[in-house]
Amino acid sequence: MDIDQDVEPSVQRALFEQVRRHTGIAMNERKWTMLKGRLRRRVMALGLPDYRDYLQVLDTNADEIDDFIDLVTTNETSFFRTPRIWDYLAQSFLPQWFATHPGSALRVWSAAASSGEEAWSTAMLCEEFRAREAAFRYAIVGTDISDGILANARAGSYRGRSIEGLRQSHPALLQKYFRSEGVQADVGEALRAHVAFRRHNLYAAPRELGQFDLVLLRNVLIYFDLEGQKAVLANVRRAMRPNAVLIVGESESLSRVTTGFTFEQPLIYRNGQHREERDHEHA
């Protein structure tokens, strides 16, 4: 029997609701083909006759939720994705931040870290800056909702298209910061000393993460509806210092969302001071 045949709309809607409940990601019937493609192998591996039975597993077995999250979340990234962002960080943000924050340590949040390429790219950029400014200090936190993908990020071991892209775009950085053996390249200790990965759901308040000067929230807002985007941005802003920088993905914009961020240039926003802080200063 083909488990994909004649899946009732009510079952589809229930699975969409499970996705939203556990990840915040909004899906509708246009996403059904993608969703069933991701879940099909898991349903068959559990020996279940159809997706309705899988819904019962999700409701009764808490351990299945982690596997479900790993399956339904999109994890596609690369080293130094969108070059203009990295040019801005290297040429503008890091020099300006360092000049205006003597004695402080830069804190960076890679808020949808996926398999880690973004966090490690940021670390390479910071290491290159530290080579020119010995007093510069930094720490990077990468978070994701998927335990499985975070394990890959922590391992820092890359091969295939990911590492080939870095070899093509930044061969000197690959040689300097990775240990290569055959087709595999592993992140070196110079970067590992400054990067940590933690599980975090962007729908949750980031109370334990601390405050950041730079947040990379790239290519994740597109998976939320408008209300979800507002909730995520509000949570992210709670973890940002006044005047901190937020960077979003190349297909994303905050123009439809009322936030405390001000536009600086495409993909780059600045966090204004919270209203309570401004009121206190003028009291």
Give the residue range(s) of CATH 3.40.50.150 domains in the chain: 83-280
pLDDT of residue 3: 67
pLDDT digits (tens, 9 = 90+) for 202-239: 988 888 999 999 999 998 888 888 888 999 999 999 99
Residues facing residue 157 across a β-bridge: 186
**List of residues 6+ apart from 110 with CB closer than 8 A:** 118, 119, 122, 140, 141, 142, 143, 216
Contact 110, 140 (CB under 8 A): yes
Strands annotated E in the chain: 105-110, 137-144, 157-158, 178-181, 184-187, 195-199, 212-217, 240-248, 261-265, 268-271
- Backbone phi, psi, residue 70, to 5°: -60, -35
Which residues pair with residue 246 across a beta bridge?
215, 269
**Residues 130, 122 contacting (CB under 8 angstroms):** no
First to last CA, the chain: 71
Mean pLDDT to the nearest integer, 97-110: 97
Amino acid 278: pLDDT: 38
Domain over 83-280 is classified CATH 3.40.50.150: yes
Amino acid at 273: Q
- pLDDT on residue 250: 87
pLDDT above 60 for 199: yes
Averaged over 177-188, what is the pLDDT? 91
**Number of Cβ atoms within 10 Å of the Cβ of 213:** 20
Query: Helix, strand, or coil here: 18?
Result: helix
Q: Give 179's strand partners.
A: 186
What mean pLDDT, rounded, does the chain reach?
88
Buried b (16+ CB within 10 A) or exposed e, 90-113: eeebbeebbeeeeeeebbbbbbbb
Task: Looking at the structure, give the CATH architecture of the domain made up of residues 9-72.
Answer: Orthogonal Bundle (1.10)
Stretch(es) of the chain classified as CATH 1.10.155.10: 9-72
The region, left, alpha or beta by phi > 0 then psi within -120 to 50, assigned to residue 274 is beta
Higher pLDDT, 273 or 132: 132
% of the chain residues with pLDDT over 90: 53
**pLDDT per residue as tens digits for the range 57-88:** 998 888 888 888 878 776 667 899 999 999 99
Amino acid at 277: E
Mean pLDDT of 99-113: 96
pLDDT for position 134: 97
**What CA–CA distance (Å, rounded) separates 227 from 218?**
18
Measured at the CA of 81, the angle between CA 249 and CA 161, to 5 degrees, comes to 130
Q: Assess contact for 263 and 269: CB atoms under 8 A.
A: yes
275 pLDDT higher than 60: no
